[in-house]
Amino acid sequence: MIKLICLLTIAFIFHSSILSAQLHDQYVKGSIQFTDGKKITVLLLNEETGKLNYSVSFKDSSHKKIRRAYSAKEILAVEFENGKQFRQIRFAPHGSADTITVLGRLIVTGRINLFQVYQKSAEILVAVKDGQVFPMQEDELNSFDIEITKNNYISYLLSALADAPDLLREKAIKTEFDEKKISRLILDYNKLYDSPAQIVKRKAENKRFWIAGASFKKTKECPYGIWGFINYRMYVTDFSRSTSFNIGFHYYNYQFKTPYYTSYSFVTSTRTIASLPVFVQQNLLNKKVRPYLFAGFNISYINSKSDKQGYEDEIGFQRNYGFNLLGGAGIEWNLLPNLMIKADYHYENVLHDFMGGVAVVF
């Protein structure tokens, strides 16, 4: 554990120098239209939607390191080359007397424009029709509350569809709070009025790739330890560029020694673990060097052998095979775009202590 803490500390110390470069795919060509009428074409920092709702950062070219930022109050519209569009909207969230100014991500255009906004991690779908604003938010249970807060999104949806046919309004009453379902409902309404209705399309921004590699361990108590793995990793970049969802196959083979209870000798055991893990990894830095935490579960099988009877793992469900939790912390360092060094301290069926190795990304 002390080794892991030291590695995390080193990563944070070098953050201002070695780690200062942004990931290459964070900047996207686009344009900003300001409230004073000025319009510029720049490289926009392509962050999660929740961050873009309140401010936009950009730089003039890929060669410049300094970036500028403007708040939502200063911007009328933002358009990304990948299709994402944001417009300035003002509204008071349900139950609040305060009006907020944000950049809403444009989802549907037409007689009713539909926007997506995040406030304190809560999703709000905002319908704008003839200058009127209808903010829709799912019922929620806030921290320290004992009752669910009713946000009455159906009432706002029906108000926006006040002049819609009865059949469409009946459908609205049964509509769940879901971006795709509400978007389709608004689109159907817009098409009734021959307005230029469409769902704003954008390029898929999910990042998917495979990581395969091996880690090694050698200590006095563990003469050798090998961990081979292959993981399929996915980032839902609109949600987060630092949270990934992973599934894969992990293989461990290692030898360890334990004191023999009748003498000063040791028992030498060899253990093999095959695991199918599903876990979430949270990067603490979104840089070339990334300290991270991860947690999840697995389906696994364990086979062990020992040079003395009675020291093998027990046989049976939830003993040498079954379901188990996993978790830990570590560091990934991209030496090259397709080559990284990994080191972590984690638990997967057993505590694996500190392990380090290399991985290939493809």
What is the mean predicted confidence (pLDDT) over 227-233?
A: 94
Residue 44's closest CA among 34, 55, 58?
58
Do residues 67 and 102 both lie within one domain? yes
Cα gap 350→352, rounded to integer Å: 6
Q: Given pLDDT bands bounded at 50, 70 and 90, which one contains residue 126?
A: very high
Residue 168, domain member (yes or no): yes
174, 158 Cβ separation under 8 angstroms: no
Do residues 142 and 239 both lie within one domain? no
pLDDT at 143: 59
On the 0-12 / 13-18 / 19+ scale of CB atoms within 10 A, 133 is middle
What is the mean predicted confidence (pLDDT) over 83-112?
A: 94
Which CATH number characterizes residue 340's domain?
2.40.160.20
Do residues 190 and 218 both lie within one domain? no
Do residues 176 and 262 both lie within one domain? no
Greater confidence (352 vs 221) lies with 352
Which residue, 134, 169, 199, sits at the end of a domain? 199
Residue 6, domain member (yes or no): no
349, 300 Cβ separation under 8 angstroms: yes
Which residue, 199, 234, 255, sits at the end of a domain? 199
User: In this predicted structure, which of 139-143, 173-177, 212-216, 219-223 has the lowest mean pLDDT?
Assistant: 139-143
What is the mean predicted confidence (pLDDT) over 47-52?
A: 90
Residue 135, domain member (yes or no): yes
What is the mean predicted confidence (pLDDT) over 259-282?
A: 87
Do residues 102 and 212 both lie within one domain? no
Count structural domains, the chain. Answer: 2
Domain encompassing residue 170:
30-199
Q: How confident is the prediction for the chain on average, in pLDDT?
A: 86
Matching residue, tokens 């570590």: 330
pLDDT at 21: 35
245, 283 Cβ separation under 8 angstroms: no
Do residues 186 and 229 both lie within one domain? no
pLDDT at 15: 37
Which residue, 199, 226, 258, sits at the end of a domain? 199
User: In this predicted structure, which of 160-174, 280-294, 307-321, 339-353 has the lowest mean pLDDT?
Assistant: 307-321
Do residues 183 and 39 both lie within one domain? yes
pLDDT at 4: 44
pLDDT over 70 at 85, yes or no: yes
Q: Which amino acid makes up residue 66?
A: I
Cα gap 249→291, rounded to integer Å: 22
Residue range 233-265, pLDDT digits in tens: 998 877 777 899 999 999 999 998 888 766 678
Tokens (6 digits) for 120: 């304190």
